[in-house]
Amino acid sequence: MKTAAVVTIGDEILIGQVTNTNAAFIGQELSEVGVEVTRMIVVGDEYEEIMAAFREYYEKVDAVLVTGGLGPTHDDITRKVVADFFDVPLVMDNSVLENVRDRLAKRGIALRKVNEEQALVPSGCEVLMNHWGTAPGMLFDEDGKFFVVMPGVPHEMQNLMREYVIPRMKQKAVGQVIKHRVLRTTGIAESSLYELLGDMGVLLGGKAKLAFLPSQIGVRLRITVKSATVEGADSIIGEVEREIRAKAERYIYAEGEVEIEEAVGRMLAERKLTISVAESCTGGFISHRITNVSGSSAYFDRGVVSYSNRAKMDILHVPGDVLEKFGAVSEEVARAMAEGVRKISSADIGISVTGIAGPTGGTPEKPVGLVYIGLADSAGAVVERRVMPDERLRFKDRVSQAALELVRKRLLGLS
């Protein structure tokens, strides 16, 4: 077994009412066991649409995984379509019926006919008992094809995947290992990073794939390798990573799902350094991100939201004549804020941000998106000027990322 398709059923996904987290979970789980998801589709609660998806994908892949449409209401028609697809009747499964009765009884609900229908399963399928809900999973494993149907409720589907589906697919997914490694970068645009890495053919040597996944806070580089063995996959992915790091190391702050606040936090903890933050345009968001990390009390001293000029003067001791001469959004004020918060807290590092989040307040000299990021430590103070015009919340995201990246670079001696 090497390839799979994921079919998600539900009008609520098509209209954007519910996010399709099930497909993402299934794709990740299958990749871990060496099965490549080559197709994904979302279809509504329509008989013909569901049947068409089954017919198309069953012929093209080794495994079809279906979620959704197994509830007790009139629009839950998946089990009927599955039975017709395999040309078998729906039959009552007494074990499932007992499970439904027990779960309802624990909630003080009497068993009704509509609930009994959840115990109907296609004849000949392998029933996957759902101990986390009422709708069972249904599995067909025949003629070299693997077809499984699971509820759309995420925690029920995830438990069925872990309990039944993944163990079975591990037995079948032989001869292929798929490995991913994600490198997190920041401070460089996707196009610039692409140019920096150079010829993809030379870099990857035909042995791996490299995906560029940009967001407002950076670019993730996902290396994907297929090999016959774990050792072979690890060797190739390590080789590609070394080549990437040789060219772009200064922009790589972490691997996997580690955010920059965690990476910076580790560096501060290892060096036994403390940090304090003075924020204007981000309104406390940098402090929020730092304190999202468990153990941050070891290195985070305080955060000051000095939004007004009065707050900058009263709390951070920014000189009034500096504010009057240069304005709140200036290199001079960012420097004074960083030095001020470091002084009042006795922290090793003071970081500051002052800018124009918009959408109003900009001028030709100081446009919307302009921000100054200051850092003060025992070696002195530095200020970076950035222009990052964006929607207000995205602006705060980007500024907080840039501020934490300035700390990282300072700790590494890059600024």
d(CA 107, CA 187): 53
* Residue 278 one-letter amino acid: A
Q: Supply 143's token pair.
A: 């003629």
- Whether 216 contacts 386, CB under 8 Å: no
In order of their start, the domains of the chain are 3-172 (3.40.980.10), 177-255 (3.30.70.2860), 260-411 (3.90.950.20)
- What digits encode the pLDDT tens for the residues 33-75? 889 999 999 999 999 999 999 999 999 999 999 999 998 887 8
- What digits encode the pLDDT tens for the residues 153-174? 999 999 999 999 999 988 887 6
Instruction: Note the pTM of the prediction, 2 decimals.
Output: 0.78
- Whether 299 contacts 269, CB under 8 Å: yes
Q: For residue 111, what pLDDT is reported?
A: 79
Q: For residue 103, what pLDDT is reported?
A: 82
3-state SS, one letter per residue, for the chain: CCEEEEEEECHHHHCCCCCCHHHHHHHHHHHHCCCEEEEEEEECCCHHHHHHHHHHHHHHCCEEEEECCCCCCCCCCHHHHHHHHCCCCEEECHHHHHHHHHHHHHCCCCCCHHHHHHHEEECCCEEECCCCCCCCEEEEEECCEEEEEECCCHHHHHHHHHHHHHHHHHHHCCCCEEEEEEEEECCCCHHHHHHHHCCHHHHHCCCEEEEEEEECCEEEEEEEEEECCHHHHHHHHHHHHHHHHHHHHHHEEEECCCCHHHHHHHHHHHHCCCEEEEECCCCCHHHHHHHCCCCHHHCEEEEEECCCHHHHHHHHCCCHHHHHHHCCCCHHHHHHHHHHHHHHHCCCEEEEEEECCCCCCCCCCCCCCEEEEEEEECCEEEEEEEECCCCHHHHHHHHHHHHHHHHHHHHCCCC
Average pLDDT, the chain: 94
Reported as a pLDDT band with limits 50, 70 and 90, residue 76 is confident
Closest by alpha carbon to 67, among 2, 128, 115?
128
- What digits encode the pLDDT tens for the residues 241-287? 999 999 999 999 999 999 999 999 999 999 999 999 999 999 999 99
- What digits encode the pLDDT tens for the residues 91-129? 999 999 998 888 888 888 877 877 788 889 999 999 999
For residue 63, the cross-strand partners are 4, 146
- What digits encode the pLDDT tens for the residues 358-399? 999 999 999 999 999 999 999 999 999 999 999 999 999 999
Maximum alpha-carbon separation in the chain = 84
Q: For residue 116, what pLDDT is reported?
A: 82
- What digits encode the pLDDT tens for the residues 173-228? 767 788 899 999 999 999 999 999 999 999 998 999 999 999 999 999 999 998 98
Tell me the mean pLDDT in the region 341-355.
Answer: 98
Tell me the mean pLDDT in the region 289-309.
Answer: 98
